[in-house]
Amino acid sequence: MRDTSHLSKDSKDLKLINKIIEYLEKEPYDITALEDLFSMCRHIEPIGFKTAHLYKRSLLFDAPHFFDDYMLYLEFDRDPDKRFYLPRRKVLKTAIVDDLQALSDDKLDLLTISLPPGIGKSTLGIFFLSWEMGKHPMKPNLASAHSSKLTRSFYDGVYEILTDPEYLWADIFPVNRIVDTSTKDETIDLNKRQRFKTLTCRSIDGSLTGATRCENILYADDLVSGIEEALSITRLDSLWEKYTNNLKSRKKEGCKEIHIATRWSVHDPIGRLERQYAGDPRAKFIKVPALDENEESNFDYDFGVGFSTQYFIDMRNTLDDMSWRALFMNEPVEREGLVFPIDNLNRYYELPREEPDAIVAVCDTAEGGGDSVCLPVAFLYGQEVYIEDVVFDNGLPEVTKPLCASLLMEYNVQQCRFESNSAGGGFADDVQRIIEERGGITHITKKRTTANKLTKIIVNSDYIKKNFYFKDESQYMIGSPYYRFIQELTSFTQSGKNKHDDAADAMAQLSEYVQSFEKSKVEVFKRPF
């Protein structure tokens, strides 16, 4: 049944394989045992055993039905250094491929995938289109992008998979054949000539009237052309109209929709789809940032392909903050209507040498939903307010309460005001207790807020931009609480929906707090910023 002579006698794999084979000789129709044997074949295939043909056959069995197996089998005969999927599988399978499978299995209607540039997102989309075409050759598909050059690459990519013997597409779908292609129109038809082709590739600016009806997959890849379009809300509005009129209107009922893109703006098509379909269980929005929460690359693929952590760090140091966050971290910032643009912040390298008039703090406690406890420590010199340090943490209260107490004690903060809405009052009492137990001097007061949060922030924004001073970027580490605090503050917008407002709200509270003090006149002198 199977040649196992090449395996070591003490191999655990050999022992297990032999046991399964012995059992199957007695129970040849036991599906569970057959599945176990397939699994073992897949397990040992990377080691290069002669019996990998059985593993290959198992992939072929599953390839028409499972996208992961399809891609593994499709490239099985390619040279290892030419394979796209296998080196990237460790990342792409759980991050993206499983959800593409869910869409194909009718568990989703809409899937958006936000990824950094260069990680292979378009190639993955081409693979998926070729698979869907094989499964449903008589159902039209439509692929679009911002330019005809990009859609031509979709056409060429799919055509290569269907015709190049390096790819085993014909093994997977042996009854399918190409009956018509057009390089000019970027169309491919399978099995039977149809008015609406199996695949039509057309830029979003190209004419689709009468060209196709999309019955199976509407695939959109990077509809935004670049930074100039992203910075213009007028052009993004126009792009959205093109999408709804030129693409979405082509869909027939039951057609699935995929958007894969590098993000540019909260007003790009993916951003608008996120808002439109928020809460819809049949819509899913995937975001895979360049760096994970530990500042490690998410795309350091096997076999030397992909991008290292250092590569992404270098890119971060090269790009402006907003571009980095949008293109590589999938966190586009509303560029219009920013209340605290990063270039408008006053900066300093070190505190003035004289003693401050006071050291105070405020605390905006978290209200759930991923909100952060924000406690900035401020050194007051007349009307100038220097933000020297901050607690900015979305952890559990048992973590954030000691953090707040420790920071207040470290700087000998004299007065601290806590917002007492929701659970804020109890949070303040616990922090006060910790400080007293440790022998600290901070006196905590509480204030309940009833004012509209956005209004409060806007009203205080001018005072903050004129009188508040924030550390120069060279004075804090990337990924530190101060860094994350500045990121959120400079992302706050008055014209869009803010995911979080803790930093901006804390600044507004601090502004009101310091203005409530009696200020003595001080001599104005040049600050080192």
CA–CA dist 274, 285 (Å, integer) = 7
The whole-number average pLDDT for the span 352-378 is 90
Stretch (H or E) spanning 81: none
Res 9: pLDDT? 39
Q: How far is CA 107 from CA 67, 110, 256, 382, 415, in A?
A: 15, 10, 10, 61, 55
* Secondary structure class of 153 (helix, strand, coil): helix
Res 296: pLDDT? 94
* 446 or 496, which is more confident: 446
The whole-number average pLDDT for the span 439-464 is 88
Tens-place pLDDT, residues 223-278: 998 877 877 778 889 999 999 988 999 899 999 999 999 998 888 999 999 999 99
What is the maximal distance between C-alpha atoms in the chain? 97
Query: pTM of the predicted model, to two decimals?
Result: 0.65
Res 302: pLDDT? 82
Res 521: pLDDT? 44
Res 112: pLDDT? 97
CA–CA dist 115, 32 (Å, integer) = 38
Q: Which of 83-92, 157-166, 308-317, 447-456 has the lowest mean pLDDT?
A: 447-456
How many residues are listed for the chain in this entry? 529
CA–CA dist 188, 196 (Å, integer) = 10
Q: Is 23 exposed, middle or buried (0-12, 13-18, 19+ CB in 10 A)?
A: middle
Phi, psi values for residue 138, rounded to 5°: -95, 5
**At residue 453, what is the residue type?**
K
Domains assigned to the chain: 1-62 (no CATH), 85-288 (3.40.50.300), 342-515 (3.30.420.240)
Tens-place pLDDT, residues 291-324: 998 899 999 988 788 899 999 999 988 887 778 8
The confidence band for 496, taking pLDDT boundaries of 50, 70 and 90, is low
The whole-number average pLDDT for the span 422-428 is 83
The whole-number average pLDDT for the span 109-132 is 95
The whole-number average pLDDT for the span 406-431 is 91
Tens-place pLDDT, residues 16-65: 777 877 887 788 777 777 777 767 766 655 444 445 677 888 899 999 99
**At residue 330, what is the residue type?**
N
| DSSP for residue 412 | T
Tens-place pLDDT, residues 163-172: 999 999 999 9
* 206 or 152, which is more confident: 152
Tens-place pLDDT, residues 276-289: 999 999 999 999 99
Residue 2 has pLDDT above 60, yes or no: no
